[in-house]
């Protein structure tokens, strides 16, 4: 079993389970046996290029997204760098008094590309257990990155994530996530932090996710939901 086959197989399993799709359903979509697809997921047999495209189409992702490491892993010295990008998103849900963690995965590191959002996961090692799965596109600009996303469970909700690109801390930025609240079924927006590194979930992170007095002042003055770049240092 090669490392690449194991990684691709693990990603296929994660996307399949996040889509609430059974092994048999995926096998039927790509005209393979259930046993063969199971071996793909185990990494015991390699996935050829044509099949990789078929699986990606069935799962609604780009082939490049199946190559990106979805689960954080230790990189050995001299290991070739993978194409793609993994970002960690945090927001604070005041209704349940907890930090909501989510995983953003892009097929490439630069430019516009397909993106997946595993929203509200119990741990970054379990993206398949997300509360909601979104697919969409990323658009990078000089000072802002936009993510346009569609909820795969209903096809109704279209979420929008706007992240300010910090010049001081390029790996960590404040953003605004807008969509439909699953509890109230009303349009809602939340302040969030998107980071290239997994952050420690402590009181400092919680404070940085809460709306500040300046945030509230801007909202009252403009009658718009505006957040400023969070300074955690």
Confidence (pTM): 0.86
- Between 36-50, 81-95, 145-159, 187-201, the lowest mean confidence (pLDDT) is in 81-95
Band (pLDDT 50/70/90 cuts) for residue 154 is confident
Instruction: Show the tokens assigned to 122.
Output: 């119990």
Tell me the average pLDDT across 191-213.
93
Neighbouring C-beta atoms of residue 214, cutoff 10 Å: 11
What residues have CB less than 8 Å from 36, skipping those under 6 apart?
Answer: 27, 45
State mean pLDDT over 57-83: 72
Q: What is the pLDDT of residue 231?
A: 62
Domains of the chain and any CATH numbers: 3-66 (1.10.260.40), 85-222 (2.40.128)
168-183 tens-digit pLDDT: 566 788 999 999 877 7
DSSP letter, residue 159: E
**Within 13 Å, how many C-alpha atoms sit on residue 95's CB side?**
7
The answer for residues whose C-beta is within 8 angstroms of residue 226's C-beta and 6 or more apart is: 215, 218, 219
Helices (H) and strands (E) in the chain, counts: 6, 8
């Amino acid at each position: 079993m090669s490392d690449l086959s194991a990684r691709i197989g693990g990603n296929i399993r994660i996307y399949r389970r996040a889509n609430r799709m059974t092994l048999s359903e995926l096998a039927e979509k790509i005209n393979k046996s259930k046993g063969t697809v199971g071996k793909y997921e185990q990494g015991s047999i390699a996935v050829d290029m044509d099949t990789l495209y078929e699986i990606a189409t069935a799962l609604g992702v780009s082939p490049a997204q199946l190559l990106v490491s979805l689960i954080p892993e230790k990189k050995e010295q001299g290991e070739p760098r993978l194409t793609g990008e993994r970002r960690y998103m945090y927001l604070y849900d005041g209704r349940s008094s907890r930090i909501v963690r989510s995983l953003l995965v892009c097929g490439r590191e630069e430019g516009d590309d397909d993106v997946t959002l595993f929203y509200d996961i119990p741990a970054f090692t379990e993206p398949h257990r997300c509360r909601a799965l979104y697919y969409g596109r990323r658009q990078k600009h000089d000072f802002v990155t936009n993510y346009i996303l569609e909820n795969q469970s209903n096809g109704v909700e279209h979420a929008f994530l706007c992240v300010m690109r910090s010049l001081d801390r390029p790996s960590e930025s404040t953003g605004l996530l807008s969509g439909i609240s699953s509890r109230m079924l009303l349009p809602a927006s939340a302040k969030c932090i998107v980071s290239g590194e997994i952050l420690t979930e402590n009181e400092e992170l919680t404070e940085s996710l809460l709306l500040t007095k300046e945030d509230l002042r801007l909202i009252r003055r403009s009658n718009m939901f505006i957040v400023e770049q969070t300074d955690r240092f």
